[in-house]
Amino acid sequence: MGDLHRRHHNSLLAAAERRLLVAIAARLPAWVTSDGLTLLALTSMVAAGTAFAWSPGRPWAAAAAISALTLNWFGDSLDGTLARVRRRERPRYGYYVDHVVDLAGAAALIVGIGCSGAMHPLVAGALLVGYILVAAESFLATHATGVFRVSFGPVGPTELRILLIAAAVRVAAAADTSALNVGGTIGAIGLLGAFFVSTIRTTRALSRAEPLERGGQRAA
């Protein structure tokens, strides 16, 4: 079965990351499966959220968060690549499960950051709302246009993980939480901006694809 949609992924690290993932997937032992990698992605993101909740002033918790985010990258980035390398794609199953896991993992992570005290709960809540809006618009746009946008401009999932790793170091090292609140606020605004820009772009593209003649009738 072929892909259900075309992927659009042009972040800063996308090309190099793609080559690395294919090389890793080709060398993984047979007992490593796509479903196992997806489960690893979910559990490691929950672990990262838990580590963030414990991390203020605790270097060991920051190290745990960084390790969990690295494992999340491994599982989340490789599950689909492994299926394609082994020619065992299940496009509808994979698309659905992968993104349900992404939503659950993101919620666990952001709740953990909000519980840490290093970020105001309202800022963490705004981040979560922004993420859900962007994710929902992306899923709807994929269904309507057949193109799934993995990245927005130069930023994709891997770049976001790098920013989160920097945040974990900051939370562990600094008692001052202002930087995290500022960063979280900027992140929330960026997500909301991406939501509105993508919504307008997709709406215009669909309007051009399905024009109306005068009088409200759809053009042939």
- Residue in the block written with tokens 């939501």: 195
Looking at residue 31, what is its pLDDT? 95
Q: What is the mean pLDDT of residues 153-172?
A: 76
**For the chain, which domains are there?**
6-208 (1.20.120.1760)
Looking at residue 173, what is its pLDDT? 65
**How far, in Å, CA of 44 to CA of 189, rounded?**
27
Looking at residue 149, what is its pLDDT? 76
Here the contacts of 199-206 (C-beta below 8 Å, separation 24 or greater) are: 199/137, 202/137, 202/140, 202/141, 202/144, 202/145, 205/145, 206/144, 206/145
Looking at residue 9, what is its pLDDT? 65
* Dihedral angle of Cα 68, 71, 72, 76, to the nearest 10 degrees: -170
- Considering only residues 167 and 23, tell me which one the structure prediction assigns the higher pLDDT: 23
Looking at residue 166, what is its pLDDT? 79
Looking at residue 211, what is its pLDDT? 85
**How far, in Å, CA of 45 to CA of 112, rounded?**
10
- Considering only residues 33 and 186, tell me which one the structure prediction assigns the higher pLDDT: 33
4 three-state secondary structure: coil
Distances (CA, A) of 62 to 104, 109, 112, 115, 124: 21, 13, 12, 15, 18
Q: What is the mean pLDDT of residues 143-163?
A: 78
Here the contacts of 82-88 (C-beta below 8 Å, separation 24 or greater) are: 82/25, 82/28, 82/32, 82/33, 82/34, 82/37, 83/34, 84/25, 85/22, 85/25, 85/26, 86/25, 88/34
Using one digit for the tens of pLDDT, what is the confidence trace for 85-110? 999 989 889 889 999 999 999 999 99
Residue 2 confidence (pLDDT) above 50: no
Residue 6: its H or E element: strand 6-8
Looking at residue 1, what is its pLDDT? 32
- The answer to which of 14-23, 67-76, 107-116, 178-187 has the lowest mean pLDDT is 178-187
Looking at residue 174, what is its pLDDT? 61
